[in-house]
Amino acid sequence: MPDFRPPQHLPFELAEYQQRLKNTKEAMGRSGVEALLITDPGNMNYLTGYDGWSFYVHQGVLILIDQEEPIWFGRAQDSNGAVLTTWLDKENIYGYRDNYVQSKLSHPMEFAADILNERGYAKRRLAVEMDSYYFTGRCLDMLRRSLPHATIIDGDDIVRWVRCIKSAKELDYLRMAARITEQVMQKAIDGIGIGVREGDVAGEVYKAQICGTADFTGDYPAIAPIMPSGIRTSTAHLSWTDRRYEHGDIVLLELGGAKHHYNMPLARTVMIGEPPKELQDVAEVAIDGLNRVLEFIRPGVTAEEVEAKWRESISGSRVVKESRVGYAFGLNYPPDWGEHTISLRPGDKTVLKPNMTIHFMPGIWLDTFGFECTEPIVLTEQGCETFIDFPRKLFIK
């Protein structure tokens, strides 16, 4: 490890990270959690600043209730990355040797257990992010085996709910991401046309995501461009192919921009040629419903009330929508920009509060085509503010 402390270029002031840590420890205290193992890369970044594409090997951050700083652990060749991108002292950065990598003989969670042992936490109440992407079944079993006297419980909800209300600086980054997203969407719509390869439009989308604006570049968004055409718009998560666009194609565009890994999603729909009556009808109903929901949404209402408002708006129409119509979003790494907290659907009784960020996403996927027109918003004191300035309509090429 370098024997000097390089200048820090963290996206937030130290005080903000420390406030996040304090909020996390308070949440741990309320749940009787003494040690928290964080493996979600977004949560790791949120608390420490750590930023590397190293989540393809096991790594994590440990929050110990009585200790001032978090502990980062990961592969030795990434520990300089932790020195360079986090605010942690080097004594709290632990790199494991390469024999722990993708091996049947030793597992990084044994290394994590050794740290807990060394710090006196081997017999205490340990929460893990049970359903986070990079915390595997084997991770859980290895921890149980290595810490037989610890009580291991689910900590999925600890950091993600702390993150739910955004700070002023977080909103700044989300607004920077929004400027990128607007350019990305415009680039995609401009590029689509008869005879153009889908992949060539996708390439321009990627370039716009990363080159960003004259003032700042972008980061990789947490979801790849979703941009199916034709029959492939009947489902939610397909991308481009080598196919060339044809007259009569519908194209769904679900695209993001990101700054400091704060993601800004947006979806719009393009029709090449005259739209069929059925698509026009769906678009009209969906956009009208979207507008009504944006007027309705405000602090004090619950997530399920927002969904009910949407359902009321489309009732009597032919639009059927059985999946949730939105979710909390923000800081994240692949594969998802959603925060896995608020879902706009029946049964979600979360009371909305100022500075929560929600992607209102009433995607419609019918038997042979789909339609998407969405808005990412932030709750204000009185209602909501949209992040994005982009027409709400079916685009015709």
Q: Which residues pair with 73 in a beta bridge?
A: 60, 94
Q: How far is the CB of 37 from its own copies (least distance, A)?
A: 10
Instruction: Give the integer Cα–Cα distance in Å for 83 and 165.
Output: 28
Q: How far is the CB of 293 from its own copies (least distance, A)?
A: 18
The answer to whether 263 and 278 have CB atoms below 8 angstroms apart is no
What's the full length of the chain, in residues? 397
Instruction: Give the integer Cα–Cα distance in Å for 169 and 11.
Output: 9
**Which stretch in 116-124, 231-239, 275-283, 297-305 sits in contact with its own copies by CB under 8 A?**
231-239
**Rounded to the nearest 10 degrees, what angle do helices 137-146 and 108-118 cross at?**
40
Q: Name which of residues 359 to 378 contact its own copies (CB under 8 A).
A: 363, 365, 367-368
Using CB under 8 A as the binding rule, whether residue 98 contacts its own copies is answered as yes
248 Ramachandran zone, left/alpha/beta (phi>0; psi -120 to 50): left
Instruction: Give the integer Cα–Cα distance in Å for 370 and 254.
Output: 12
Which residue in 147, 144, 138 sits closest to 117, CA to CA? Answer: 147
Please identify, using beta-carbon distances, which residue of 21 and 350 lies nearer to its own copies: 350
Q: How far is the CB of 261 from its own copies (least distance, A)?
A: 11
Using CB under 8 A as the binding rule, whether residue 193 contacts its own copies is answered as no
Please identify, using beta-carbon distances, which residue of 91 and 367 lies nearer to its own copies: 367
Q: How far is the CB of 120 from its own copies (least distance, A)?
A: 24
Among 224, 293, 358, 379, binds its own copies (CB under 8 A): 224
Among 110, 123, 220, 386, binds its own copies (CB under 8 A): 220
Q: Name which of residues 342 to 361 contact its own copies (CB under 8 A).
A: 343, 345, 347
Using CB under 8 A as the binding rule, whether residue 117 contacts its own copies is answered as no
Using CB under 8 A as the binding rule, whether residue 172 contacts its own copies is answered as no
218: which 2 tokens?
């972008």
Please identify, using beta-carbon distances, which residue of 133 and 390 lies nearer to its own copies: 133
154: which 2 tokens?
């689910």
